[in-house]
Amino acid sequence: MASIIRLHMPPKLATGAVIGTNAAQAHYLGAVMRRRAGDGLRVFNGTDGEYDAVIERIGRQGADVLLREQTRPPAPEPDCWLAFAPVKRDATDLIVEKATELGVSAIHPVFTERSQTGRVNRDRLGAIATEAAEQSERLHVPPVAEPIDLARFLAGFPPGRRLFVAAERQAAPPLVPMADLQPQALLIGPEGGFAPAELDGMARHGFVTLVSLGPRVLRAETAAIAGLARLLAAPDQS
Ligand code: SAH
């Protein structure tokens, strides 16, 4: 059986509604996946949940889909951000895709002293996150925040959220998930690592915990995936 296509759509989804897709989604449905009028799919978003749907009309500019019954109600997901120093393009893409699959609630590109790149294409990363949410059966697409300098990220860090800073070659305790459902965030440094002054400065904040991801020095993308796997592996976090 062909796999079920899931499309992320803005609110407001409801049984009986006819929703128009954008041109890119119509192209994906028709030209890439060879679907036509009468074929089924699922549509979803974090606010309305997921609906069974059927294509009523499909053209170049868009498709109309009729929503049938709700297949999943909206449900909360764990509140865990990933903050990371953008690396090379392919590695950054990988981080965003895998972080979304693993279940992060938001993605924050953060520029540090040794960041290799000063540019981030938010639209591109947003599209990668949307695709990963569609594929991994999530209801929420994590927003990709405006890139920001480390100092400003820390200054604006919301109260009540714990920040785990991944620090290699330090006598830091291993990263262990918190027992309660406190909002949290994981920060991963660039390929060159954090500068010593950055680590010292971060360690002074009460909301920061420096953590180790094991004895080896991981690439930034490996560190992001390994750390998030630990924080988000529990089945009953939401
Ligand atoms: N160039 C640095 C390594 C940087 S690795 C060096 O040789 O020391 C890139 C980022 O991945 C680091 O900033 C850190 O956030 C994370 N990282 C890699 N390995 C890690 C480990 N074993 N424990 C915790 N964080 C790690």
In sequence order, what DSSP letters do the residues of the chain get, joined into one string? -PPPPEEE--S---TT-EEE--HHHHHIIIIIT---TT-EEEEEETTTEEEEEEEEEE-SS-EEEEEEEEEE-------EEEEE---SHHHHHHHHHHHHHHT-SEEEEEE-TT-S-S---HHHHHHHHHHHHHHTT-SPPPPBPPPEEHHHHHHTPPTT-EEEEE-TTS-PPBP---SS---EEEEE--TT---HHHHHHHHTSTTEEEEB--SS---HHHHHHHHHHHHH--TT--
User: The pTM is what?
Assistant: 0.94
Which pLDDT value is given to residue 186? Answer: 98
Residue with CA at minimum distance from ligand 1 atom 1: 192
Q: What are the distances in angstroms from CA 57 to CA 9, 12, 33, 180?
A: 17, 20, 15, 47
Q: Mutate which of 218, 230, 231 to test ligand 1's pocket (most atoms within 8 Å of Cβ)?
A: 218
Instruction: State in Å: Cα 64 to ligand 1 middle.
Output: 47
Q: Mean pLDDT across the stretch 37-44?
A: 98
Give all domains of the chain, ordered by start, each with its CATH number: 6-72 (2.40.240.20), 80-231 (3.40.1280.10)
pLDDT in tens, 96-148: 999 999 999 999 999 999 998 778 999 999 999 999 999 999 999 999 999 99
pLDDT in tens, 65-108: 999 999 999 998 999 999 999 999 999 999 999 999 999 999 99
Q: Is the beta carbon of 199 within 6 A of some atom in ligand 1?
A: no
Give the pLDDT band (50/70/90) at residue 236. Answer: low
Instruction: State in Å: Cα 143 to ligand 1 middle.
Output: 25
Q: Mutate which of 110, 168, 169, 202 to test ligand 1's pocket (most atoms within 8 Å of Cβ)?
A: 168
Phi (first) and psi of residue 18, to 5 degrees: -110, 125
Atom of ligand 1 nearest to the CA of 189: 13
Question: Which residue(s) pair with 8 in the sheet?
Answer: 44
Instruction: State in Å: Cα 135 to ligand 1 middle.
Output: 29
Asked if 162 contacts 182 with a C-beta cutoff of 8 angstroms, the reply is: yes
Question: Which residue, 192, 193, 184, is CA-closest to 227?
Answer: 184
Question: Which residue, 190, 175, 191, is CA-closest to 232?
Answer: 175
First to last CA, the chain: 31
Q: Tokens 């981080």 correspond to what residue?
A: 95
Which pLDDT value is given to residue 2? Answer: 60
Which pLDDT value is given to residue 237? Answer: 47
Atom of ligand 1 nearest to the CA of 214: 22
Q: Is the beta carbon of 218 within 6 A of some atom in ligand 1?
A: yes
